Structure formats: structure tokens, C-alpha cells
Structure 1
Amino acid sequence: MDDAAAILGRADFFNMCDDEQRRMLGFASDRRHAEADEVIYKAGTVPQGAHVLIEGTLKARNEGVEAGKPYALSEPGSIISPMALFLDKPRPVTITAVTDCDLLFVPRSAFLKLMRQYPDLAQKAAQRIERELSGYLTALDPLKRKMKER
């Protein structure tokens, strides 16, 4: 449990949680191992939570309309699909292990329960989502201007 809490402590996403909240999430989380070339989840599926990379390298590839070059995740503490902690929606990305990987799976149900128990955590999570969405929208501004010029 403390090992899982320490792993969550290395993931920037979970800096909104205090030590006790990370311990509670760690208790509900599962450590998993993925072999090289193993699919963690496929685009179009609904992940039941998020993964935190402990060790190894993962490849993320957008599928469908937004398909593009895959990108790699190899930084310990990287969180895969943090929005899956909030939303019960299919993800547009396929995540595959490039090398053998160790991951910590954080179930959505545990994260949502924690937010219900700690309204201040729910507020911090809402602020984080708002900041990230604002950042995405700001990044789209140049495209918006180009579209208006046409």
C-alpha cells in the first residue's frame, strides 16, 4: 500500500491528493505487469481507470479521424488516460507496451469514491480539468484564426 502511495506521489496528476488520500488510492490500486507488445487497452474501449507508468516504455496511438504518429511514454510517473478517472467514455487511443512495463492501475470507482469523501479534492480535480481544457483551447487558437481567414 505504501509502495503504491509512493508511486502515486511521483505522478504529477495525483499531486492534488494529500498523503492519506494517496494511501487510500494506493490500497484500491493494482500493480500490473505488461509484456512487450501487449495492448494495455484499445481505442474505442472504455478503460475502468487510469494507469501510472512505474517502469518501461509505452506507445500511444490515436486511431480513427485523429490518427497520427504514435508517441512514446517512458517517464516514470506518467499517467495514462487520466480522464478515465472521471469519464465512462471510450478512449480514442490504443496503448501498447513497447518494452516490458510495470504499471499501477487506479480504478475510476476508487477515485470517484475518494472525491465524494473529500469535496476539496473534487474541487481541485475540477480546477485541474478546467486548466487542462483551457490549455487545449488556447493551443487551438492559431487554427481557429486560420479557419476564419479562409
Structure 2
Amino acid sequence: MDEAAAVAALAELDVFSSFSDEQLRLLAFVCEEISLAPGDALYAAGDAADGAYVLVSGALESTHSPVEGSGQFRIEPVALVGELGLMLTRPRGASVKALRTSTLLFVPRAPFMKLLRSHPELAEDVAATLRAELSRYLDSIAQLGERFSR
């Protein structure tokens, strides 16, 4: 994937919305392109997280529960996958595999954090975006809990 396509994919994501074109190009430069065939694992629950992935094409499935058939979510492009891996060193909480041939960009944590440290305003914007996404996620879990507690 060329730099322009990588920059365009990154620019579509909320977490990178406040990045300048130059900052997106710097980030695209350190990204690694990954190709997955149908059924290939991107990562498994419990794996060490050292960055995040941008799904550029294809489709993925995320499984959040060890119970067969539950907690499965389809991921379509353009999407940020494993975004907490950009900020935290905790193990992955889900398993993700390709449903069809997929192309992704791996965004490594170290250069991402270096960019945030050198541009504190970006760090604030990224933190606000991740907080908002986490809040939406927690709200959806709370709504599910209400359905099961009746």
C-alpha cells in the first residue's frame, strides 16, 4: 500500500481526526502492512498488545467470549481494531480473525506515543476520543445487562 492510501485510511478514523497531514504521513511511514487470508488470526485473547490495526479492506470477526457463538462482532473497513493497544500494555481482551481476505495497517505503540509526547494537543484529543468510545461501549454493556436482569 502506498503512503497516500495509508494516510487516507488513517484520516478516516476519529482517533486520528486532529492529526495534521504531516503527522498522518509520519504515522503511515511507521505502519506495517499486513495481509490475512480467510480464517487467519490477527491476534488471540491474552496476546500482548503493542499497537493497533487499521482494517483497510476485507472483513474481520472479533470474539469476546470463550463461549462458542457468543460475543461475536463483524468488523468492516475502515476501522480501528485493538485501539487500546495504542495506549496500554495489557493483554488483548478478544480474539480477531479474518472472515475474508483482508488488508490492515499495524500502528505500533512506541512511535504513536512518541508522536503524542511531542504534540500534547494530540494526546488530549486522542484521550478524549478514546474516552468517548469507551463510554459508548460501557453504555451498550449496561443496556445488555438490563435485558438479562429482568
- TM-score bracket for the superposition, by shorter chain length: 0.7 to 0.9
Q: How does 1:1-150 map to 2 (within 5 A)?
A: 1-64=3-66, 68-74=70-76, 76-139=77-140
The one-letter amino acid of 2:63's match is R
RMSD: 2.4
Where 1:99 maps in the other structure, the secondary structure is strand
Identity, % of aligned pairs? 33
Post-superposition Cα deviations, 1:96-122, rounded to whole Å, max 9, x if no partner, equal 011111111111111101101100001
Q: Which has the higher helix share?
A: 1
**Contact between 1:60 and 1:70, CA under 8 Å: does it hold in 2?**
yes
Point out 4+ residue stretches in structure 1 off by more than 6 angstroms: 143-147
Distance across 2 between alignment mates of 1:94 and 1:36: 14
Give structure 1 stretches of 5+ with no counterpart: none
TM-score by length of 2: 0.85
Distance across 1 between alignment mates of 2:99 and 2:143: 34
The one-letter amino acid of 2:105's match is L
